[in-house]
A and B are shown apart, each in its own frame.
Chain A
Amino acid sequence: MSKFALDRVTAALPTAIVERFTDRAGGEWGVVKPEAIEDVASLLRNDPELDFKLFVTIACCDRLQLPVAEPRFELSYVFGSLKRNEQVRLKVRVGGDRPEVPTISGVYQGANWDERLNWDFYGVRFTGHPDLRRILLYEEFKGHPLRKDYPLRQRQPLIPERPIKDLFRGPGTSGVA
């Protein structure tokens, strides 16, 4: 689908894409080195033949429980080209205690909020981001809830919750202090 775009990126930036694969639905993915993502994004957007002007999304996956768990975080970037009527899918893999990826909010304005979302829920830092705050959760929130090691039922209320008698689930502390 986006073979042409990935070929062209490889031709212009030979070391940027480290791996390519096709997913089950036939979508082609390119795995990009973290330090090269900004160059790749700006090439895709500004090359007149590629013209990937439409910012689609940035998502993150915590691979902690997958068979291949290293590096731990996998960010996927999707951009669209109306001229070529296709989408390009890129991946960036980062690990470590303080995962860091360069921001692309200078290339696509829409990336600003998506990067904030991934910082909020996965704790991936986007270096050079102009305003890296939490976006859906509140600033006092501790931890990053979509990480696989964040417990499903963990609660951290801003004000103490009243205990509510509930056998299985529901709001409050379920009668337990």
Chain B
Amino acid sequence: MSESELEAHFPTQNMVVNLGPSHPAMHGTVRMRIELEGETIVKADPEFGFLHRGFQKSAENGTWTQVLPYTDRLNYVSSLMNNFGYLNAVEKLIGLEIPERAKYIRVISSELHRMADHLTCVGAVGLELGGFSAFLYGIEARELIVDRVTELTGARLTTTFGRVGGLNRDLPPGWTDVVLKTLDKISSLAHEVDGLLTRNRIFVDRTKDTGVISAEDALDFGFTGPCLRACGVNYDIRKARPYWVYDRLDFDVPVGARGDNYDRYLMRMEEIKQSDRIIRQAIKQMPVGPVIIDDWRVALPPKPEVYGTIEGTMAHFKLIMEGVQVPPGEVYDSTESANGELGWWLVSDGSGRPYKCHVRAPSFALLSGVTRMIEGQLLADLIPTFDTINMIGGEVEQ
């Protein structure tokens, strides 16, 4: 800054602002300690952990099945994907192949929750940039999905659905027809959101070329999911290492170019449409059959067996009291959740409890990249950046 000799010297210093922990734009409870020079962010230091619940310590002190309710609370917007991601890793560790129908139901319900996650994120972006109507349409669509999930699992958000070896229950009668009708309604609501935001002058000005991150940096920070694809990197675990039945379904992976907030928003809007396609195909292809494997060392016996035979009673008792006996060993396995790679490093010592249960939460990497994305930017750009990475407090803070 060059000062003319004649101008009076005006001493300035950087100002430190605390954004959060309780701030509507800081999803969950994150405190951002921001050093400002005028309106420009010089340095940002996120402080989080206010939601730390000791997930890993609790998991190590429960049986393999008892970990399941804790996984609901990781990403509480799309809990089914956490449930199934965890179960998938445990099944890999045991070496189980789950029944076909269970795979299809996992795909359908995961994709429903992916839509819910993206709708919530997109709605929140709209809301925090001043467009309340977009939020209402997004949340209306999400509520419909939550209703379907309630019919399926019995809970709105904390689903605890699925068991090691398959699922704990089959679809309710007539559920798939209601899902198809719901998809029609959701696509019309998503179309409304699209109409309100995608070509909205104010929205585009706030999001385009803000919060930019290069593909190289994004990979370096460990970005995955829509945020990585927005940078132009075509990486989706559903395509790269297909699990369940994703290799039999025809869907596209949207890839962006600029890595800014607007691209991340577009990725999510397109993925909602792709999830719609996946669900429709999966419902058509889904076979009838059992939803859980018939092995009483892993899955609970049917209730008539438990109450009618001594073998059933014993298997039930041993599974409940001791847990699934997972052979000693370890595995790192990952699935594509709404925000990216949800990885599990599980270590078993051969008892009924996980010896170690590490979760690689996608949002953790995304949040670590936020400082890079906002330093040197305006304070106002922090809000859309923080929104579009869709950081979920539950999984970052475990």
Task: Give A contacts to B, CB under 8 Å.
Answer: 23-25, 27, 53-57, 59-62, 65-67, 76, 78, 80, 82, 85, 87, 89, 108-110, 112-114, 117, 121, 135-138, 145-146, 152
Contacts and interface: CB of A to CB of B under 8 A. Distances in A.
B57 A146 contact: yes
Q: How large is the interface on B (under 10, 10 to 19, 20 to 34, 35 or more residues)?
A: 35 or more
A76 B345 contact: yes
Given A113-B367, A136-B398, A146-B60, 17 more contacts: A24-B92, A24-B95, A24-B327, A54-B224, A55-B220, A60-B358, A61-B356, A78-B332, A78-B345, A82-B234, A108-B220, A109-B372, A113-B365, A113-B368, A136-B52, A137-B49, A152-B57
Given A24-B95, A61-B356, A56 B343 contact: yes
B302 interface: no
B349 A65 contact: yes
A56 B217 CA distance: 13
A23 to B, nearest CB: 5
A54 B52 contact: no
Q: Counting chain B CB atoms within 10 Å of each CB, which of A56, A57, A67, A114 scores highest?
A: A57
Main secondary structure of the interface of B (DSSP, over half): mixed
A109 B347 contact: no
B394 to A, nearest CB: 12
Given A57-B222, A137-B52, A145-B54, A82 B331 contact: no
B95 A82 contact: no
A121 to B, nearest CB: 8
B219 A25 contact: no
Contacts of A113: 364-365, 367-368
Contacts of A25: 92-93, 95, 331, 333
A55 B355 contact: no
B76 interface: no
A27 B233 contact: no
Contacts of B241: 85
Contacts of B234: 82
